[in-house]
């Protein structure tokens, strides 16, 4: 039986760890963590993906708590000095093969979310990431902190999309639904709500506007 914070799909287990952007994907006894922050998880990481260096996505303390000497850490270059281990730089367009798990970094940036006029929270030129993870042909997308951007139109057919919907720093729930209606993943898990920004209402509003299957984890 699935737990409330877990989605099981084609033998994969996807757990939402902190009501924000942290996920654990378990695939063939390998543990893939994405943006671990304020997590309470005892499993060791085989792979850690970091979308960008903001504190709520890149936490060296959380990374140290789950990494081992063999953990691969895939992240933007700004994160390199903060963690030790097998660091692999990623920016949009990077594709890394981790023993058969294919990880592709894709763009993630703001088009209409600004800290000040003309200053987006997540500038395109920073080359921060979302990720598309290919596990035996199952494609899982983690959007990072992004708006609905033109590059999404070029995505392959996705099985699962983990998509921010809390607004302020990322897509609003309506914008996220518009994006997902365009890229048509089989299942969407709305994220980036419940901590810092966003609420269950945003997840529910996303589900009302997305013309596909929504799985709201808690």
Q: What is the pLDDT of residues 32-82, one digit of tens each?
A: 999 999 999 889 999 999 999 999 999 999 999 999 999 999 999 999 988
Residue with tokens 């060791």: 44
**Burial (0-12, 13-18, 19+ Cβ within 10 Å), 80:** middle
With a threshold of 0.95, does the pTM exceed it?
yes
pLDDT of residue 47: 98
- For the chain, domains (ranges, CATH) are 6-214 (3.60.15.10)
Q: How far apart are CA 13 and CA 20, in angstroms?
A: 18
Q: How confident is the model at residue 1 (pLDDT cuts 50, 70, 90)?
A: very low
Q: What is the mean pLDDT of residues 1-5?
A: 76
Contact predicate 111/149, CB 8 Å = yes
Q: In sequence order, which residues have a C-beta less than 8 Å from that of residue 20 and are 6 or more positions away?
A: 35, 37, 38, 56, 191, 192, 194, 195, 196
Residue with tokens 């924000």: 20
Q: What is the mean pLDDT of residues 88-95?
A: 98
Dihedrals φ, ψ of 30, to 5°? -110, 140
- Residue 82: strand, helix, or coil: helix
Q: Which two tokens stand for residue 40?
A: 């309470």
CB environment 144-179: b (16+ within 10 A), e (fewer): bbbbbbeebeebeebbbbbbbbbbebbbbbbbbbeb
pLDDT of residue 128: 98
Residue with tokens 């589900």: 207
Q: Mind listing the pLDDT tens digit for each residue in 99-111?
A: 999 999 999 999 9
Q: What is the mean pLDDT of residues 181-206?
A: 98
pLDDT of residue 159: 98
């Amino acid at each position: 039986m699935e737990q409330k914070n877990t989605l099981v799909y084609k033998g994969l287990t996807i757990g939402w760890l902190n009501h924000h952007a942290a996920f654990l994907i378990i695939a063939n006894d390998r543990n893939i963590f994405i943006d671990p922050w304020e997590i309470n998880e005892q499993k060791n990481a085989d792979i850690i993906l970091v979308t960008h260096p903001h504190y709520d996505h890149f936490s060296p303390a959380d990374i140290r708590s789950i990494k081992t000497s063999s953990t691969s850490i895939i992240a933007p270059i700004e994160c390199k000095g903060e963690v030790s281990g097998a660091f692999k730089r990623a920016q949009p367009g990077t594709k890394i093969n981790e023993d058969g798990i294919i990880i592709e970094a894709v763009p993630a940036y703001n088009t209409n979310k600004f800290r000040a006029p003309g200053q987006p929270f997540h500038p395109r030129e920073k080359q921060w990431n979302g990720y598309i993870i290919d596990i035996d042909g199952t494609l899982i997308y983690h959007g990072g902190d992004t708006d609905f951007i033109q590059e999404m139109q070029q995505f392959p057919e996705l099985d699962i999309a983990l998509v921010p919907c809390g607004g302020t720093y990322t897509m609003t729930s309506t914008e996220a639904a518009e994006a997902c209606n365009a890229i048509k993943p089989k299942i969407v898990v709305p994220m980036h709500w419940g901590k810092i920004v966003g609420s269950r209402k945003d997840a529910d509003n996303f589900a009302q506007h997305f013309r596909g299957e929504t799985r709201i984890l808690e």
